[in-house]
Protein backbone atom coordinates (compact mmCIF):
# COMPACT_ATOMS: atom_id res chain seq x y z
CA UNK A 1 0.00 0.00 0.00
CA UNK A 2 1.29 3.46 -0.92
CA UNK A 3 0.61 6.31 1.53
CA UNK A 4 0.55 9.92 0.33
CA UNK A 5 0.89 12.54 3.07
CA UNK A 6 -0.10 16.07 2.07
CA UNK A 7 0.43 19.02 4.40
CA UNK A 8 -0.72 22.49 3.38
CA UNK A 9 -0.32 25.83 5.11
CA UNK A 10 -3.66 27.60 4.78
CA UNK A 11 -4.21 31.14 6.10
CA UNK A 12 -7.24 31.39 8.37
CA UNK A 13 -9.12 33.62 5.93
CA UNK A 14 -8.83 30.91 3.21
CA UNK A 15 -9.81 27.83 5.25
CA UNK A 16 -13.36 27.74 3.91
CA UNK A 17 -12.15 28.04 0.32
CA UNK A 18 -9.62 25.25 0.91
CA UNK A 19 -12.27 22.99 2.49
CA UNK A 20 -14.70 23.61 -0.36
CA UNK A 21 -11.97 22.79 -2.87
CA UNK A 22 -11.10 19.64 -0.96
CA UNK A 23 -14.56 18.21 -1.67
CA UNK A 24 -13.73 18.03 -5.41
CA UNK A 25 -11.32 15.20 -4.56
CA UNK A 26 -14.41 13.00 -4.12
CA UNK A 27 -13.73 12.11 -7.77
CA UNK A 28 -10.94 9.87 -6.44
CA UNK A 29 -13.64 7.34 -5.51
CA UNK A 30 -13.72 6.07 -9.08
CA UNK A 31 -9.95 5.77 -9.67
CA UNK A 32 -8.53 2.24 -10.07
CA UNK A 33 -6.30 1.34 -7.12
CA UNK A 34 -7.61 4.13 -4.88
CA UNK A 35 -8.20 2.92 -1.30
CA UNK A 36 -9.08 5.97 0.81
CA UNK A 37 -8.47 9.66 1.48
CA UNK A 38 -9.09 11.54 4.72
CA UNK A 39 -7.75 14.54 6.59
CA UNK A 40 -8.42 17.56 8.73
CA UNK A 41 -7.01 20.58 10.51
CA UNK A 42 -4.09 20.24 12.92
CA UNK A 43 -4.79 21.11 16.56
CA UNK A 44 -1.18 22.23 17.10
CA UNK A 45 -1.13 24.47 14.02
CA UNK A 46 -4.64 25.53 12.91
CA UNK A 47 -3.20 26.80 9.62
CA UNK A 48 -2.02 23.26 8.72
CA UNK A 49 -4.29 20.97 6.71
CA UNK A 50 -3.22 17.32 6.79
CA UNK A 51 -4.51 14.86 4.20
CA UNK A 52 -3.69 11.16 3.84
CA UNK A 53 -4.28 9.30 0.58
CA UNK A 54 -4.00 5.51 0.33
CA UNK A 55 -3.32 3.67 -2.92
CA UNK A 56 -3.03 -0.05 -3.68
CA UNK A 57 0.46 0.43 -5.12
CA UNK A 58 2.79 2.87 -6.85
CA UNK A 59 1.51 1.95 -10.34
CA UNK A 60 -2.08 2.93 -9.43
CA UNK A 61 -0.87 6.19 -7.90
CA UNK A 62 1.31 7.02 -10.93
CA UNK A 63 -1.64 6.37 -13.29
CA UNK A 64 -3.81 8.72 -11.20
CA UNK A 65 -1.14 11.44 -11.28
CA UNK A 66 -0.71 11.05 -15.04
CA UNK A 67 -4.38 10.75 -16.05
CA UNK A 68 -6.65 12.34 -13.42
CA UNK A 69 -4.89 14.58 -10.87
CA UNK A 70 -4.55 17.74 -12.95
CA UNK A 71 -8.18 17.62 -14.10
CA UNK A 72 -9.46 17.46 -10.49
CA UNK A 73 -7.00 20.12 -9.32
CA UNK A 74 -8.03 22.49 -12.12
CA UNK A 75 -11.70 22.14 -11.14
CA UNK A 76 -11.42 22.72 -7.39
CA UNK A 77 -10.06 26.28 -7.03
CA UNK A 78 -7.57 25.22 -4.34
CA UNK A 79 -4.45 26.64 -6.00
CA UNK A 80 -4.83 30.03 -4.36
CA UNK A 81 -6.20 28.68 -1.09
CA UNK A 82 -2.88 27.66 0.47
CA UNK A 83 0.51 29.31 0.93
CA UNK A 84 2.59 26.12 0.79
CA UNK A 85 2.22 22.41 0.18
CA UNK A 86 4.43 19.49 1.16
CA UNK A 87 3.80 16.05 -0.37
CA UNK A 88 5.60 12.88 0.66
CA UNK A 89 5.15 9.25 -0.38
CA UNK A 90 5.46 6.29 1.97
CA UNK A 91 5.33 2.53 1.58
CA UNK A 92 3.33 0.63 4.21
CA UNK A 93 5.48 -1.91 6.05
CA UNK A 94 2.61 -4.36 6.52
CA UNK A 95 1.97 -5.25 2.90
CA UNK A 96 -1.35 -6.86 3.84
CA UNK A 97 -2.61 -3.74 5.60
CA UNK A 98 -6.14 -2.80 4.67
CA UNK A 99 -7.41 0.78 4.43
CA UNK A 100 -9.57 2.00 7.30
CA UNK A 101 -13.19 0.86 7.32
CA UNK A 102 -14.75 4.29 7.72
CA UNK A 103 -18.46 4.93 7.85
CA UNK A 104 -20.47 8.16 8.05
CA UNK A 105 -21.19 7.32 11.69
CA UNK A 106 -17.46 7.06 12.52
CA UNK A 107 -16.73 10.41 10.94
CA UNK A 108 -19.74 12.19 12.44
CA UNK A 109 -18.83 11.03 15.98
CA UNK A 110 -15.37 12.50 15.50
CA UNK A 111 -12.17 10.72 14.53
CA UNK A 112 -8.69 11.92 15.27
CA UNK A 113 -5.82 11.41 12.85
CA UNK A 114 -2.48 11.07 14.61
CA UNK A 115 0.59 11.41 12.43
CA UNK A 116 4.22 11.55 13.33
CA UNK A 117 7.32 11.38 11.23
CA UNK A 118 10.41 9.80 12.74
CA UNK A 119 13.89 10.05 11.31
CA UNK A 120 15.68 7.50 13.46
CA UNK A 121 14.81 4.07 12.08
CA UNK A 122 12.72 2.21 9.54
CA UNK A 123 9.16 1.24 10.33
CA UNK A 124 10.05 -2.45 10.13
CA UNK A 125 12.30 -1.97 13.18
CA UNK A 126 9.47 -0.41 15.21
CA UNK A 127 6.96 -3.18 14.62
CA UNK A 128 3.18 -2.94 14.76
CA UNK A 129 1.54 -2.26 18.09
CA UNK A 130 4.16 0.28 19.14
CA UNK A 131 2.13 3.20 17.88
CA UNK A 132 0.58 5.73 20.27
CA UNK A 133 -3.09 5.04 21.00
CA UNK A 134 -2.92 1.80 18.98
CA UNK A 135 -5.08 0.00 21.53
CA UNK A 136 -8.03 2.31 20.83
CA UNK A 137 -7.33 2.71 17.12
CA UNK A 138 -9.87 2.15 14.39
CA UNK A 139 -6.87 1.85 12.03
CA UNK A 140 -3.10 2.23 12.22
CA UNK A 141 -0.23 2.07 9.76
CA UNK A 142 3.55 2.22 9.81
CA UNK A 143 5.24 3.26 6.59
CA UNK A 144 8.76 3.89 5.33
CA UNK A 145 9.54 6.90 3.15
CA UNK A 146 9.84 5.79 -0.47
CA UNK A 147 13.25 7.47 -0.89
CA UNK A 148 14.76 7.40 2.63
CA UNK A 149 14.00 4.27 4.67
CA UNK A 150 15.40 5.90 7.82
CA UNK A 151 12.26 8.08 7.78
CA UNK A 152 9.15 6.45 9.23
CA UNK A 153 5.56 7.63 9.27
CA UNK A 154 3.18 6.63 12.06
CA UNK A 155 -0.55 6.97 11.31
CA UNK A 156 -3.39 6.21 13.72
CA UNK A 157 -7.13 6.85 13.34
CA UNK A 158 -9.02 6.68 16.62
CA UNK A 159 -12.27 7.91 18.10
CA UNK A 160 -12.24 11.26 19.84
CA UNK A 161 -12.65 10.76 23.60
CA UNK A 162 -14.54 14.00 24.18
CA UNK A 163 -15.36 17.33 22.57
CA UNK A 164 -12.60 19.02 24.56
CA UNK A 165 -9.86 16.58 23.56
CA UNK A 166 -7.32 18.44 21.42
CA UNK A 167 -4.05 16.50 21.35
CA UNK A 168 -1.22 18.49 19.83
CA UNK A 169 -0.09 15.88 17.29
CA UNK A 170 -3.56 15.12 15.95
CA UNK A 171 -6.12 16.51 13.54
CA UNK A 172 -9.89 16.15 13.70
CA UNK A 173 -11.17 14.56 10.49
CA UNK A 174 -13.33 16.75 8.31
CA UNK A 175 -16.22 14.62 7.07
CA UNK A 176 -16.34 16.39 3.69
CA UNK A 177 -12.72 15.38 3.04
CA UNK A 178 -13.27 11.63 3.48
CA UNK A 179 -13.47 9.58 0.28
CA UNK A 180 -13.58 5.79 -0.14
CA UNK A 181 -13.61 3.74 -3.36
CA UNK A 182 -16.91 3.84 -5.18
CA UNK A 183 -18.62 6.10 -2.63
CA UNK A 184 -18.37 9.30 -0.69
CA UNK A 185 -18.44 8.95 3.09
CA UNK A 186 -19.87 12.41 3.71
CA UNK A 187 -23.64 11.97 3.46
CA UNK A 188 -24.04 15.30 1.67
CA UNK A 189 -21.96 13.87 -1.21
CA UNK A 190 -24.04 10.68 -1.69
Domain segments of the chain as ranges: 2-189
Q: Which CATH number fits domain 2-189: 3.40.50.720, 3.30.70.100, 3.10.450.50, 1.20.120.520?
A: 3.30.70.100
User: Which residues, including other chains, have CB under 8 Å from residue 176's CB and lie 6 or more apart?
Assistant: 19, 22, 23, 186, 188, 189
pLDDT tens for the chain, 190 residues long, are 999 999 999 999 999 999 999 999 999 999 999 999 999 999 889 999 999 999 999 999 999 999 999 999 999 888 899 999 999 999 987 655 677 777 666 676 678 888 888 776 554 554 544 555 555 677 878 788 888 877 888 888 887 776 666 666 688 889 889 998 886 555 444 4
Entry pTM: 0.85
Amino acid sequence: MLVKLIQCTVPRDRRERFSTGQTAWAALADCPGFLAQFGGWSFADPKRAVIVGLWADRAAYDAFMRDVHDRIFASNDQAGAYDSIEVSLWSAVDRGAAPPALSPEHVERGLLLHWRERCDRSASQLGPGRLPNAATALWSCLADHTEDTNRTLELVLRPRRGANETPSSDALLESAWVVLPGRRVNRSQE
